[in-house]
Amino acid sequence: MLDGVYVAYQWWSDSGSEKGGRTGPLFPVEPVKPVTEITNYPVERVDIVDYPYFPLLYVEDTYGNPYWILEETKYSYSFSWSFSNLLVTILLDPDGSYMKWLSEIRWFDTPELVDMWGFFWGPDEGALTGDEVFIFSSFSLSEYNSSYYYKSNYTWFDESNSEVDPNTVIPNLAEGYSWAAWMNQSYEYDYDWSFTGYGFDVNEMFSSDTETQWMNHYFSGMTSFNDTNGNGIMDIVYERIGYDYDDDGAADWYYYEKDESASEDVYDFYAEDAELGDVVFPVLNSNGEIEWSAEIINIEGNLATSYPQPIWFCGLIGAEARPEEPVEPEMVPVEVDRLEMVYRFKVTEDAAVLKIDQHIGEFNDPVTSAVPSEVNGLGLAAKYWSSFSSYSIKGELADGTDVATTMVESGETTDGTLRFVENLDVRTAVDFGGTYVWGRDGMIYEVGTAIIPTYYYILPILPMEYGVPSADLAYSPSYWSSQTYYYCSCYANWDGFSITHDPIFSVFPLTAPGSMTRLIDGLVNSAVLLSVVGVASILVVCVRVNKERRSI
C-alpha cells in the first residue's frame, strides 16, 4: 500500500443471548414429618413433579413446639450482548527484515490461523533491526443488557397444620434456628444492568537499544466543565488529607480528595444506547495516506453531575474518614447524532504518524431536539490516558519539564503535545492540542490541553515520613507505580454543539524511516475472526443499575 508499510485489518461482529429461571424452593429439604401427615399442606402452590422435595423448613421454639415453613420462590434471568470491532494493524518495516522473517516461518500459509495480535505482543526480537514500528488501532462498540427477578413468600404452620403468625414464634426460636428469623415476610428483588461501550485506542510497539517498548493510548470519555478562570482548560484539584490511624496526633498516611470548590468539571457523559454507523476499511487516499473510518450513531445517554470521588491511599482509610454515601447525581437526558473517527496514517522522514479526525456530534434534548439549556456556557473535555511497559520512558512537556504520573491539580501543556522520552530521545508523542472547528458557528478555535491529576496506589504501604504524592516515588526501584498519564483536550467554546478535532499520535523508531534506502511494498488483508481479542478497548462506558428490595 505504501513503501515499507504493511497493513492488515479484521472486522469482528458477534452477538448472543440467554434466559432462564425456575419456580420452587430456594432451599429444598426433606420435611421432618411425612408429607401424608400434613393433610392441609397447600400443594397447589408448588410444582411437586419438578422438585423431589417439598419446600418445607423445620424449626422449633424454646418450648419444643415444631413448626414448618412453606417457602415459595420464583426467579428468572436474561441477558443479551453484542460486540463489533475494527482492528487495523500497521507494520512499518522499511528494510523488510521483519516481513522476510514472517515469510520464512510461513506465517501466512494458513490465513485462518493468523493472529494479528501476535505481531504486536509476540515479535521475535531476532527479526527486529530497529526500524520497525507496529501500530494497532481499534474502534469498537459493545452492548450488554441483563435482568434478574426474584420473589419469595414464607408461610408458617404448626403441628395441627394451622397457619400461624411467624412474628409470634421468632422471638422464641430455639437455639440453632435463628437463621429463620428473616422468613417473616415476603421479598421481591429486581436487578437490571445495562452497558454500552464505544471508543478507540492506539497501541504502538518499537524496538529500543535494549528492549521492546509497548505504548497504549486510550480515549476515555467526555466531561463538560465551567471555565471559571478563563484559562481554557478543565481544572481538577485534589486536596491532600492526612489520616491518623492510631490517634497519636500525627498523620500516618495521606489520601487525596477532590476539591469541589476549585474543580471545574460539571457533567460526565454516559451512554445508554448506540448504533453502529458506517465502517470503511483501509484504503490508500489521494494524499498517499492509509485511511479508514468508523462511526457510532444515534447515541442516547445522560449528562450526569460529577460528585466527589476520593481515591484512597492504599485503600485503607478508616470508616470515620470516608464520606457519606454519594448523592444521586443530576441527570440531563441527551441524544448525540454521531461520534466519528477518520484515521489517516503516513510516514515522514523520522516518524510513523497516525492522525485521527475526531467528530463529536451535537448534544440535543430527546424531546425538543434542541441543545439543553443546562450546557449553555460550558466547555467540553475529551479525555485520554496513555500507559507504557518500560520504566525507562518518562513523560515530558515541551519545555523539558517532567510529567508525573500523579499531580495535585491540572497542569497546562505549553504546545499541546505530550512527549515521551527515553535517554533524551523522543520515542513517541501525542499532539492533543492545535485547533478545532466549533459546530455552532463553523469557526476555528484553539484547543486547551491539560494533564489531569490522578492518584495511584504505592506498594507497600508508605510510612508517615514519606508524606509525598506517589508521583515522587514513581521511578524509585524500591516501589511500584503504574506509568500512566491522564490528559485531555479542552474545547472552551462548546455549549452542546459539535466539535471536530484531530489528535495526532507519532512514533519515532530507533532507525528513522527516511534513512532507509531499500523499501519493500506489501499489503496483507485478513478477514479472519479472532478467537482472542487481546486488550479490551471499551472506553466510554455506561453502567445503569436499578435495584429494588422491598417488603410486600
How do residues 188-235 score in pLDDT, each as one tens digit? Answer: 888 888 778 877 888 877 766 556 677 788 888 899 999 999 989 898
CA 109 distance to own-chain centroid: 37
pLDDT 10s digits, 110-122: 655 556 666 656 6
Q: What is the pLDDT of residues 398-421, one digit of tens each?
A: 666 665 555 555 666 666 777 767
Task: Using the predicted structure, report yes or no on whether residue 358 has a pLDDT greater than 70.
Answer: yes
d(CA 293, CA 299): 18
Strands (E), 285-351: 290-305, 331-347
Average pLDDT over residues 162-169: 92
Above 60 in pLDDT, residue 481?
A: no
Q: Bigger pLDDT: 451 or 308?
A: 451
In this prediction, residues 299-308 reach a mean pLDDT of 77
What is the C-alpha separation between 471 and 453, in angstroms, rounded? 10
Give pTM, 2 decimals.
Answer: 0.69
Contacts of 324 (CB under 8 A, 6+ apart): none
pLDDT by residue (tens digit) across 100-149? Answer: 877 777 666 665 555 666 665 666 667 777 777 888 888 888 888 899 99
Confidence of residue 544 (pLDDT cuts 50, 70, 90): very low
Q: What is the mean pLDDT of residues 304-319?
A: 46
Report whether 411 contacts 371 (CB < 8 A). no
Say yes or no to pLDDT of 463 above 60.
no
| Residue boundaries of the structural domains of the chain | 1-95+141-200+519-552
CB 141 within 8 A of CB 83: yes
CB 352 within 8 A of CB 506: yes
Pairwise CA distance, residues 355 & 342, whole Å? 8
The predicted structure's pLDDT at residue 219? 84
Mean pLDDT: which of 82-86, 194-198, 237-241 is highest?
82-86
d(CA 201, CA 219): 6
CA distance 378 to 233: 11
Q: Which of 71, 75, 73 is nearest to 166 (CA)?
A: 71
